Structure 1
Amino acid sequence: MPQADTLTVVHHDDTRTRYKDVRYQLVRGGIRIWSDEGEHAFEDILMTHAYRQREAND
């Protein structure tokens, strides 16, 4: 399951929802996100942006 330091979900009405330090799964109907606040699910999303910081050893 992919992990992101920062994940932004862009909705069809151009609003954005941002999360930090999450795991996520893109599914046919949208996206599922697991964060410290719990599990979140969004349908009908426009796009996502996931960023991961590089490790110092890379």
Structure 2
Amino acid sequence: MPHADTLTVVHHDDTKTRYTDVRYQLIRDGIRIWSDEGEHSLTDILMTHAYRRGKPKN
């Protein structure tokens, strides 16, 4: 799974949700995100922006 230091999800209504230090998986219905707060599953996404600043943490 890809790792992102910052992951921004843009929803169909143009709102944005930002996550930090996450793993994510793009799926047919949207995106799954794993963070320190747990697993999130979003289906109303328009696009995502993922940024990495170096090697992912193990």
TM over 0.5: yes
Aligned Cα RMSD in Å?
0.8
Distance apart, 1:54 and its partner CA: 2.8
Match of 2:50 in 1: 50
Cα distance in 2, alignment partners of residues 44 and 18 from structure 1: 14
Q: Work out which of the two has the higher radius of gyration on C-alpha atoms and give 1 or 2.
A: 1
Tell me how many residue pairs correspond in the alignment. Answer: 55
Distance 2:44 2:8 in 1: 14
Please name the residue that 2:36 is paired with.
Answer: 36
* Residue 25 of structure 2: aligned partner: 25
In structure 1, how many angstroms separate the alpha carbons of the residues matched to 2:47 and 2:24? 13
- Partner residue, 2:3: 3
- Alignment identity in percent? 80
Relative to the length of structure 1, the TM-score reads 0.91
Structure 2 spans left out of the alignment, 5+ residues: none
- Displacement after TM superposition at 1:44 (Å): 2.4
The runs of at least 4 consecutive aligned structure 1 residues that moved more than 3 Å come to none
